[in-house]
Structure 1
Amino acid sequence: MVIQVGVLQKNGALADHYEQNRSLCREGLWSGHTGTYLHCAITGNISPDVWSLESLETLDLSENMLVGMLRAVLSNLKNLRELVLDDNSFSGSIQSTIGHLKELKELYLHANSFSLNLQEELGNLQNLQSLDPRVNLFSGNLPSTLGNLISLLYFDASQNRFTGPIPSEIGKLSNISTLALGKNKLTGVITASV
C-alpha cells in the first residue's frame, strides 16, 4: 500500500503492510489506492503519497499524532468533499491552495496548533457547509470572504486568537445555524440577519 511508506504506527514501528499482513488503516474503511476514505492510526508527517490520491472524497486523519504543516499540494485532491484533521499537532498556516478544493463541504481543523490568519481563499469554497477551526492558534482578522460561503451551516472559530472587528459580511450567511466566535478578542456586533 503506497500510503504506508514513510509513516509510523503509534508504537513507533515503521508501517509494513505486506510483510506483517496488517493495515494501518481502520478495517473496512480503506478501499484502495484511489479509494474514497482514509482514516489511519499514524504519527509523524503525512506521507507525500496522500496528496496524489486525486479520487479521494473523504480524508479523515483525526485523532492521530500528526505534525508539521499542510502542503500546498493539498489542492491536488480536487474531488475532496470532507477533510478532517482534528486532534493532531499540525502547525503553521492553512495554505491558500485550500481555495482550490471546490467540492469541499466539510472542513474540520479543531484542536491543532494552526496559526497565522485564516486564508481569504476559504471564501472560494462555495459548497462548504461546515467550517471548524476552533481550538487553534489562528490570529488576525477573520477574512471578510467568509461572507461568500453561501452554503455554510456551521462555523465554529472559538478559542483562537482572532482580533479586530467581526466582518459585516458574516451577515450574508443566511443559512447558518451555528456560529461560535467566543474566546477570541473580536469586537463589534453580529448583524440581525444572521
Structure 2
Amino acid sequence: MTALLRFDAAMNHLEGTIPYELCSLPLESLKLYENRLVGTVPASIALSPKLYEVKLFNNRLTGELPKDLGKSSKLVSLDASQNNFSGEIPANLCAMGAVEQLLLIHNSLYGKIPESLGQCRSLCRVRLSNNKLAGEVPAAFWGLPHVSLLKMPFSGSMSKTISGASNLSLLLISDNQFTGNIPEEIGSLGNLVEFSGGYNLLSESLPATLVKLSELSTLDLHNNKLSGELPSGIQSMKK
C-alpha cells in the first residue's frame, strides 16, 4: 500500500512487533497506542519526509527510539510514554522546528536533555518524568515561549530564562535534585496555575514576585531547604 499516509490501529489487542514494512511507507501519522506490542521501533520510520505524528504510548516496546526521528520531517507530536524504551532522547527530534508535544514518561531513557531541544521554540507540552534521565536542564529550555505543561526530572538550578515561558500553566518538577533559589523571574508567568516543586534542594527565601501570580491555585514546595518569611502580600493571592 505505497500510497498509505495514515495508519491507526490504536486501542486493540495487537501483539508482536511493529513491521519494518509498515514503517518503510511514506506515512504522515502512525498510531499504535494502547496495544501489547513488543520489540523495537524500526529505524525506517525516521525516513518518511511527511511524518508529523507518532503515538506509541502504553505498549511494551523496548530499545532505543530511532536516532534520526524528526531529522527529515516536520515532526509535531511524539508520545512514546509507558513503554520500556532505553537510550537517549534523539537529538534531531526538533531539527525542523515543529515539535509541539514531547511525551516520554514512564520509560528507561537516560542521559541529558539534548541542547537542541532548548532551541525548539514550538514546544507546548513536555513530559519526561519517570525515566533515568539526569544532568542539568539547558537554560534555554526553561524559557520556551509556548510551553503550557513542563513536567521533567533532572538537577541543577532554575534558570532566569523562565521569564520567557509566558504560556506556562503547569510547572511540575517534584522529586528531583534542583538546587539554588527560585528566581524572581517566576513572577512573569501570568498564566501559571500550579507550581509543584516538592522534594528538591531549593534554598533561600521565596521570591517576592510570587504574589504577582494571580492565577496560581497550587503552590507545593514541601521538603526543600527554603528559609525566611512568606512574601509580603501573599494574602492577596485569591486562587
Normalized against structure 2, the TM-score is what?
0.66
The equivalences for 1:168-179 within 5 A come to: 168-179=208-219
1:121 to 2:161 alignment? yes
1:131 aligns with 2:174: no
Q: 1:24 to 1:81 in 2, by over 3 A?
A: closer
Q: Distance in 1 between matches of 2:164 and 2:135?
A: 21
Change (3 A) 1:43 1:24: farther
**Structure 1 residues 85 and 127: CA distance shift in structure 2, 3 A:** same
In 2 relative to 1, CA 137–15 (structure 1 residues): closer, same or farther, beyond 3 Å?
same
Q: Are residue 144 (structure 1) and residue 175 (structure 2) matched?
A: no
Gap change, CA 1:18 and 1:36, over 3 Å in 2? closer
Which residue of 2 is the match for residue 9 of structure 1?
none
Give every structure 1 segment of 4 or more consecutive aligned residues whose post-TM-superposition deviation is greater than 6 Å: none
In 2, distance between residues paired with 1:150 and 1:182?
23
Q: CA deviation at 1:18?
A: 4.8
Corresponding residue of 2:230: 189
The structure, 1 or 2, with the larger RCO (C-alpha pairs under 8 Å, 6+ apart) is: 1
Q: Does 1:60 align with 2:103?
A: yes
CA distance in 1, matches of 2:220, 2:171: 11
CA change 1:152–1:24 in 2 (3 A) is closer
Find the aligned partners of 1:69 and 1:125 in 2 and give their Cα distance: 21
State the alpha-carbon separation in 2 of the partners of residues 98 and 18 from structure 1.
29
Residues 99, 138 of structure 1: alpha-carbon distance in 2 compared, 3 angstrom cutoff: closer
Is the CA contact 1:81–1:104 (under 8 Å) kept in the aligned structure 2? Answer: yes
1:145 is paired with a residue of what secondary structure? helix
State the distance in 2 between where 1:132 and 1:65 align.
19
Q: Deviation digits for residues 3-60 of structure 1, max 9, x if unmatched? A: xxxxxxxxx96642559xxx99338xxxx94343212232111122213252221110
- Per-residue deviation, 1:76: 3.5
Residue 93 of structure 2 corresponds to 50
1:85 is aligned to 2:128 = yes
Name which of 56, 60, 65 aligns with 1:25: 56
Answer yes or no: is the 8 Å Cα contact 2:147–2:168 preserved in 1.
yes
- Contact 1:138–1:160 (8 Å) recurs in 2: yes
SS at match of 1:52: coil
Query: Is the 1:172–1:193 Cα contact (8 Å) retained in structure 2?
Result: no
Deviation at 1:100, TM superposition (A): 4.9
Cα contact 1:93–1:118 (8 A) shared by 2: no
- The structure with more helix, counted as a fraction of residues: 1
SS of the residue aligned with 2:235? coil
Counterpart Cα distance in 2 of 1:165 and 1:39: 37
- Root-mean-square deviation (CA), in Å? 2.6
